[in-house]
Amino acid sequence: MVRGRAGLVVAGAGARGAYEAGALSVLLPWMSRTGPAPTVLVGTSAGALNVVGLGGMAHLPPFQAAEQLVETWSAVQLRDVFGLASGLETGLGYLGQLAGLPVRLPSLLDTERLRSRLTEWLPLESLHENIDAGRVDAVAVATTSTVTGGTVVFVEKNDAVALPPNDVGRNITYVETRLTVEHVMASAAVPLLFRPVRVTEPARWAGWYVDGGLRLNTPLKPALSLGCTRLGVVATQPMTSTTSPPPRAHRRTRGEPPGDAIEPDVYAVAALSLRVLMADRMIEDLHRLEEWNAGLEPGAASRAVEVIFAGPAAGERGDISALADAEFHRRYGGLGGLRSPSMWILERLIGGDPDDHGNLLSYLFFDSGFTDAVAKLGGRHARERLGEGDRDG
């Protein structure tokens, strides 16, 4: 077993954050039983919410902390996260920009309600206390600066951990601060869909920030730079390399022509942006770490990095998407969409192509019916990876 500091890395995943919470409910207790417990927590987007939540509950037994995280996700509703920017607001903003008026249309979705919900959900005071007391050494949240285009990792830590030097080659800057709701919201602000978020602390780094996954092509790097030699990694894609197939010329809906004969509208472009941003880029890094470990000579000064992966296997790649698609049609198929006005924008964003429907939907479907079910799926997949057996009831 590799000795040294242990950490958790949780990627961005939108509503799939519930899957990650379910996986963490298995992974966190397992790591605490089998070696050094994680004291460095790193997250992006929904992963930022998960690691800040866990850091705030580090005074609890690992299983209890992770279960509380699952309970939060299992109760989430679409109205807790975003609403549709009104058609009038959107139309006036667009016309104003065409006319050269100082009117801005910052996003398609209004996430102001998320701010108040995160204030309720995130145990920030407990997070500060746990870091000061040494129950957890560092919690890091990745964002992207709208000014520089570089990655800014906001780190709350104690004296047991040194702030990493900036990585000029990868344009990663590490900034020590007390984490706030704004840092978490900024990490989750998917461009075009969600508004950029103004971060005010620390004052020197005040400015507008968006989703940390936009630029951070090596999301494991912050955890390694913070001294971790044992990493628990939660992802929503398998640890296998894939290539994208060409556009399919079949299974189109509403009589649409195949391939690129359809000019994409703003919603199609937003869907593409979401798919690209939410891709699990850490999978590439996991392969690099495997190659690094394999190349180390016995007795080498550099330590191997132990990686414990919790996520779907190759044959389970489509499980999350299929679950989202089935749950959406069960609850909101046909006239069921009239239950929530926000479902209209959700339908537009996910498009009509059945091949993409469940995949895109699974990132935006903030509904308790889905988040509760996908959290259970995450727990089951994690138990399979760790050989814990299946205890779903």
Pick from 215, 311, 211, 242: nearest CA to 9:
311
In total, the chain counts a number of residues equal to 393
- DSSP characters for 338-382? GG-THHHHHHHHH-S-HHHHHHHHHHH---HHHHHHHHHHHHHHH
Tokens of 240: 């296998």
Pick from 185, 184, 211, 194: nearest CA to 345:
194
- Cα distance between residue 106 and residue 114, in whole Å: 16
Pick from 71, 41, 72: nearest CA to 55:
41
- Cα distance between residue 234 and residue 309, in whole Å: 6
Q: What is each CA distance from 270 to 40, 74, 344, in whole angstroms?
A: 33, 26, 15
Helix 266-277 vs helix 342-350: angle between axes, to the nearest 10 degrees?
80
- Cα distance between residue 262 and residue 264, in whole Å: 6
Active site residues: 45, 211
- Cα distance between residue 267 and residue 133, in whole Å: 47
Pick from 14, 81, 5: nearest CA to 47:
14
- Cα distance between residue 393 and residue 238, in whole Å: 25
Pick from 69, 70, 73: nearest CA to 58:
69
Strands 207-211 and 138-145: antiparallel
